[in-house]
Amino acid sequence: MWKHAYLQFRRWLQSVATQLKTPAQRKFDWLAESIVKGNLEFLRLYLSKGGDPNLGSMDENPLISVAVYYHNVEAVEELLGCGAVPACHDESGWGKWNALANSAFNGYADIVSILLQHGVPVDTNWMSSTTALHEACMMRCGADCPAWDYDDEVGSPAEIARYVETARILVQAGADVNAVCEDWPGPDVEYTPLHFAVEAECLELVAFLIANDADKGATSSEGRTALDLARERNASNIIEFLEALDANM
């Protein structure tokens, strides 16, 4: 009896929430769902009739954020072609959204390339100081990757290749390999992309960054170098690699 009443109450709450949404919010939900499902017919129709490519949800995330998150490359191209804004920051410089950094976080090398071709600055911050290269080198997406067409196992050669390719595209576009991230994984940490690559225990990313002039002697706010982090994590292959570099200097 009580379960039935509870379910009825939940349905009532959902219906009220739907009714409280503005027409624009309901339109966003409809378009976002079609993007997630890979059906671009509705999006193209909406854009062809002059629809706002920057239409946002209740929490201000725009359609392009949905397209990037779910790796809908065609939707990203359609939205950019109609003037979608790929990044937004508030008055204090704090990032509301950043399609480039979001793409890099998920290892979407193809979308990263498209965004750069559309003139998105390669070192645009996601939060107050995190760049796309930082995000790529974190390799934090792992099993949570929302793309329906990627089923790589965490740490698999395929996943590593995606992130290395993403980093390569960013560096080739002029990303600062020694940029300092001040706000992640905590305040005033001052990690470089190399610190994050070591933390991810990805030798391929570490080697790539150093080959592209990453400063292996750069220290965090607590004085940790890349080698210090590798030793803390007992990442033997990275320790051997970095120590060999020091021995050959």
How far apart are the C-alpha atoms of 14 and 23, rounded to whole Å?
16
Query: What is the residue type of 233?
Result: R
All structural domains of the chain: 15-85 (1.25.40.20)
Residue 169 · residue 109 · CB < 8 Å: yes
At 227, which amino acid appears?
L
pLDDT at residue 58 tops 70:
no
Phi, psi (deg, nearest 5) at residue 72: -95, 90
| pLDDT value at residue 124 | 84
CB 73 within 8 A of CB 114: yes
Q: Which residue has the tokens 């017919």?
A: 41
CA distance 213 to 95: 28
- Candidate ranges 30-39, 59-68, 108-117, 187-196; pick with highest mean pLDDT: 108-117
- For 102-131, the pLDDT digits (tens) are 999 999 999 999 999 999 999 988 766 789
Mean pLDDT computed over every residue of the chain: 85
* Cα–Cα dist 55/114, whole Å: 20
How many residues in total does the chain contain? 249
Could you read off the pLDDT of 162-186 as tens digits, one per residue? 999 999 999 999 999 999 987 766 6
Q: How many whole angstroms separate alpha carbon 104 and alpha carbon 141?
A: 10
The strand pair at 87-89 and 95-98 is best described as antiparallel
Its pTM stands at: 0.85
Query: When comparing pLDDT for 155 and 143, which is higher?
Result: 155
Provide the pLDDT confidence category of residue 207 given band limits of 50, 70 and 90: very high
